[in-house]
């Protein structure tokens, strides 16, 4: 069952071109989404993790979740473990990926493209994810699949990056005569 996370900050966003998480792995679209400890977002994610664990492992769900938490095999993690990255300290985060490109929308729900410069690391997003339990030859985990993101509002860009400049960021200049070529300098 999909979960809607509201007003989370995006980080490590790979929404336009999939990237392999490790050499030789299948490329995926992905993102990390940061929110306050104790928030409604954390509550929703924890409830869904519990639900999928109960569905998958029944009576063994509590013990399995304890083991997965200890081995950091949950999509939900404490941001204090990434305190050296902007925005993580004192927060929680969820990592999500997908083989298929998620929908990326603006505030008015129109589709965004990479050229729009949104979303960017540090902005605020509404994010739709689906949490699911894995139990196969690759091990046990609780993962999140990113289904879509909606740009909500600007935030301080992470890592000194940010949205590209727009035409509104520049002054309007008068059109002037063309400068004639000169032999006084070499290119």
Domain contains 11: yes
Instruction: Tell me the whole-structure pTM to 2 decimals.
Output: 0.83
Could you give the C-alpha distances from 53 to 5, 66, 127, 135, 180, in angstroms and in order? 20, 11, 22, 11, 73
When computed from its CA atoms, the radius of gyration of the chain, rounded to whole angstroms, is 21
Domain contains 19: yes
Output the pLDDT for position 71.
87
Output the pLDDT for position 164.
64
- Average pLDDT for the chain: 90
With pLDDT > 70 as the criterion, what percentage of the chain qualifies? 90
For residue 16, pLDDT beyond 60: yes
Cβ–Cβ < 8 Å for 138, 58 = no
Domain contains 169: no
How many domains in the chain? 1
Domain contains 66: yes
Rounded distance, CA 87 to CA 120, Å? 13
Domain contains 142: yes
Where would I find the beta strands (DSSP E) of 37-123? 76-78, 91-98, 103-105
For residue 54, pLDDT beyond 70: yes
Output the pLDDT for position 179.
53
Q: Which helix (H) or strand (E) holds 38?
A: none
**What's the pLDDT tens digit per position in 66-111?**
999 888 899 999 999 988 889 999 999 999 999 999 999 999 999 9
- Structural domain range at position 103: 2-156
Could you give the C-alpha distances from 149 to 72, 76, 90, in angstroms and in order? 25, 18, 23
Domain contains 178: no
For residue 8, pLDDT beyond 80: yes
Domain contains 168: no
Domain contains 137: yes
**What's the pLDDT tens digit per position in 103-151?**
999 999 999 999 999 999 999 999 999 999 999 998 999 999 999 999 9
pLDDT class of 186 with cuts at 50, 70, 90: low
CATH number at residue 137: 2.40.50.140
pLDDT class of 176 with cuts at 50, 70, 90: low
């Amino acid at each position: 069952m999909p979960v809607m996370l509201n007003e989370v900050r995006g980080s490590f966003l790979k929404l336009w071109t999939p990237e392999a998480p490790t050499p030789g792995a299948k490329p995926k679209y992905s993102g990390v989404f940061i929110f306050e400890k104790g928030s409604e977002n954390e509550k929703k994610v924890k409830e869904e993790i519990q639900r999928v664990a109960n569905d998958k492992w029944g009576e063994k769900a509590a013990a399995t979740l304890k083991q997965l938490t200890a081995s950091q095999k949950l999509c939900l993690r404490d941001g204090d473990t990434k305190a050296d990255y902007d925005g993580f300290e004192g927060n929680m985060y969820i990592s999500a990926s997908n083989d298929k490109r998620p929908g990326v929308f603006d505030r008015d729900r129109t589709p965004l493209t990479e050229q729009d410069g949104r979303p960017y690391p540090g902005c605020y997003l509404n994010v739709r994810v689906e949490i699911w339990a894995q139990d196969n030859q690759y091990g046990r985990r609780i993962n999140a699949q990113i289904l879509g993101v909606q740009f909500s509002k600007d935030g301080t860009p992470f890592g000194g990056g940010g949205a590209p400049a727009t035409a509104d960021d520049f002054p309007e200049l008068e059109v002037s005569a063309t400068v004639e070529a000169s032999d006084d300098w070499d290119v």
